Amino acid sequence: MTVTHVAHIAICVNNLEKSLDFYRDLLGFYVKMQQTQEMLNRPGSQSDHMYQSTHNHRTVANIYINESDTVPFLVLTSHPDDKIEQNPIKLDQVGITHLSFKVKDLDTTITKLLSSGVKLAGDESDFRDENGNMRTFFVYDPDGILVQFE
């Protein structure tokens, strides 16, 4: 077996529009597909091994880092008519703990995010070295999922 690349990473969100405000509008990702899909014929949609509860439909958006990309980086899904259990995990829990993005300038990025109302995961001083240089930092997306910038 040879894996050729990551096809996508999917995250379930409470409110697709709020997540698009963050990933598309604030971080600058591109949405090439956004639609509502019926769940009845989706693989595994009726399986309690794959879903916490049964859903009639879902909304989905494929997010790309660059407009020219042909493979989505993130697939955001939501179930707007259903209550979704929300307990984002921390870095020391089993599962996908965070998303991480490389940026050109950490100081500019943190300033932009904080001025846009994004919540920092900790205190800004937690992410600076002894010389005051920003090494990395984490914020919360609209669902409380940790997002790292380095």
Same domain, 91 and 60: no
Choose the final residue of a domain: 56, 83, 110: 83
- Residue 150 above 80 pLDDT? yes
Same domain, 61 and 107: no
User: In degrees, to the nearest 5, what angle opens at C-alpha 97 toward C-alphas 95 and 101?
Assistant: 135
Element (H, E) at 16: helix 16-20
Confidence of residue 45 (pLDDT cuts 50, 70, 90): low
State how beta strands 137-140 and 146-149 pair. antiparallel
Retrieve residue 17's tokens: 């529009």
Percent of the chain with pLDDT over 70: 93
pTM of the entire predicted model: 0.87
What is the count of structural domains for the chain? Answer: 2
Range of the domain at 114: 87-150
State how beta strands 30-38 and 98-101 pair. unpaired
Give pLDDT tens digits for 23-34. Answer: 999 999 999 999
Confidence of residue 44 (pLDDT cuts 50, 70, 90): low
Confidence of residue 46 (pLDDT cuts 50, 70, 90): low
Give pLDDT tens digits for 48-99. Answer: 666 667 777 788 999 999 999 888 789 998 888 777 777 788 877 778 889 9
Q: What pLDDT was estimated at residue 31?
A: 96
